[in-house]
Amino acid sequence: MHCTSASRVTTHLLLLTLTLAATSTLTLAAAPAVDPTPPAEPDACTSLLVTSGASTDGSVMITYTCDAEFLPRMQYTPAADYEPGAMCDIKDWAGNVRGSIPQVPHTYAVVDLMNDHQLAIGETTFGGRNELHNPDGLFHYWDLMHLALQRATTARQAVTVMTELAQTHGYCDTGESISIGDKDEAWILELIGKGPDTPGIVWVARKVPDGSISAHANKARIGTFPLDDPDTCLYAEDVISFAVEKGYYDPDAGKPFMFNEAYDPPNPGNKRWADTRVWTIFRRAAPSLNLSPDYHRSVAGAEPYPLWITPDTKLAVSDVFALMRDHYEGTPFDMTQGIDAGPYNTPYRWRPLHWNVDDVTYAWERPVSTQQTAYSFVSQSRANLPDPVGGVYWYGMDDTAFTVYIPFYCCISGIPESFTVGSLGSFSWDSAWWVFNFVANYCNLRYADMYPDILAVQQQLEGNFLALQPAVEQTALHLANENPELMVHYLTDYSLSHADTVVARWKALGEYLIAKYNDGYVQQTPGNASQVGYPEQWLRRVLEDRPDDFKLPQN
């Protein structure tokens, strides 16, 4: 997107020297445009929503894993004021103007997918019915998300902004589930187009009850919904009648209308790849529910999982980090187990997810944490703190299991340069994404041995951030009373300098791993390499397949 006739708000930064980390170089302007080559369709993302009453500190949290094969570039968009009659250009990935809409008088500052009012938005693509795709609509889902962040201060307002824009100017994407969190509420919005040459969308949005958590993962989740409760449920006037018109729903069949059944019918594939992820988040957050795997395994008669649940205990930010790093460990679907995990128990399977042998179709499991993740975030929005301090955008590059979630406060006025550069076609130590991607890929050569080394550094860095958070925020609150502008400089420098420190530490970790795990040897101490061979369990599997090929003669 590009907005014309703007009178930009200018900001002057003072660089503070912190004793907590090395000083970084601030990126003061908006980040460079993304690579003109569009990423692959990010149709495999995972989102968790945590309400204030379900978190240990009263935070509303949402998560987003942007899963696709592309190199992300973190973006910062400053607040701006516009003259009457100004227009906002909507551009494609190559920079071509696809259309224009009237601009609003003021837009809010946005740090990637969180604005300066603590509003955050994430999504997962559910696709839905192919015939409802309208390629001539103006907006992709990401256009709607970014416009909502620039124009809304609450989750409810964001629902209105996105749905009204799509209804007025057209929607050109497939079905989307959108997570929206502000400092008081969490909402799920699900929408889909109406087909070629048909403007507008059908949609429904539900507020997650306080004290509950919800999740979605590339399959529509909203089933039945109240028609007379505008405080907790909003929807398109024709969401049911359009389904009747298209033959998706028969009101005389004696069954209640369900948005997901009508617009994204379940099948064994989307149950396996989407509902399994929802199930694993729910079963970890609420073991007492003893949720059955039957539905995601397509057992006849199994009940779908609820849209939201109450966790057994309230979730801290660190708990949410952990939920986003799941590979079904400890379940029958544990991806670190079995011959398919290789000798070193890697939980990753290379794409495609489905494959054929002897005309039989098989499918790998699809975990929450996957090598396809380009970046992810956990947003933290808190009503008990002023917006500049209350909103934290915990951002991580690459796979959730291998990343470090770094706190970026929603008031900051720049982002680290290493988070804005890089190309998928060319490795560079200057790119934060490549640094994290390198460590992840190298670890997959010997996952069981290397991951504990990585986990130790990850826990140390994230643990330090969480431990420092109260002191950092107390300092920021003090500055807010004395000098609000200085508070912004302080939180900007804290966020950026620590991001740079993490990237440097992760690069050093990669270099350490190369030296420690080299040519099949393991250096327990520097310069002291050991032959460790393979795990006995895997060797026994090799012998089951080839019992005589490796046997030495007895004399």
**pLDDT per position in the chain (555 positions), as tens?**
544 333 322 222 222 333 333 333 333 333 333 333 343 333 579 999 999 999 999 999 999 999 999 999 999 999 999 999 999 999 988 889 999 999 999 999 999 999 999 999 999 999 999 999 999 999 999 999 999 999 999 999 999 999 999 999 999 999 999 999 999 999 999 999 999 989 899 999 999 999 999 999 999 999 999 999 999 999 999 999 999 999 999 999 999 999 999 999 999 999 999 999 999 999 999 999 999 999 999 999 999 999 999 999 999 999 999 999 999 999 999 999 999 999 999 999 998 888 999 999 999 999 999 999 999 999 999 999 999 999 999 999 999 999 999 999 999 999 999 999 999 999 999 999 999 999 999 999 999 999 999 999 999 999 999 999 999 999 999 999 999 999 999 999 999 999 999 999 999 999 999 999 999 999 988 889 999 999 999 999 999 999 999 999 887
Would 521 be classed as within a structural domain? no
Contact 442, 513 (CB under 8 A): yes
CA–CA separation, 541 and 337 (whole Å)? 13
Would 134 be classed as within a structural domain? yes
What does DSSP assign to residue 272? I
Would 541 be classed as within a structural domain? no
Would 546 be classed as within a structural domain? no
Nearest to 377 by CA among 46, 140, 29: 46
CA–CA separation, 192 and 127 (whole Å)? 8
Per the document, the length of the chain is 555
Task: State the CB neighbour count (10 A cutoff) for residue 414.
Answer: 23
Would 528 be classed as within a structural domain? no
CA angle 293, 232, 309 (to 5 degrees): 25
How many structural domains compose the chain? 1
What do you get for the CA distance between the two ends of the chain, in Å? Answer: 76
Reported for 288-296, long-range contacts at CB under 8 A and 24+ positions apart, including other chains, are 288/312, 293/331, 293/332, 293/333, 295/271, 296/271, 296/272
pTM here?
Answer: 0.92
Would 92 be classed as within a structural domain? yes
Would 468 be classed as within a structural domain? yes
Chain center to CA of 322: 13
Q: What is the residue range of 294's domain?
A: 2-509
pLDDT tens track for 281-291: 999 999 999 99
Would 525 be classed as within a structural domain? no
pLDDT tens track for 193-238: 999 989 899 999 999 999 999 999 999 999 999 999 999 999 999 9
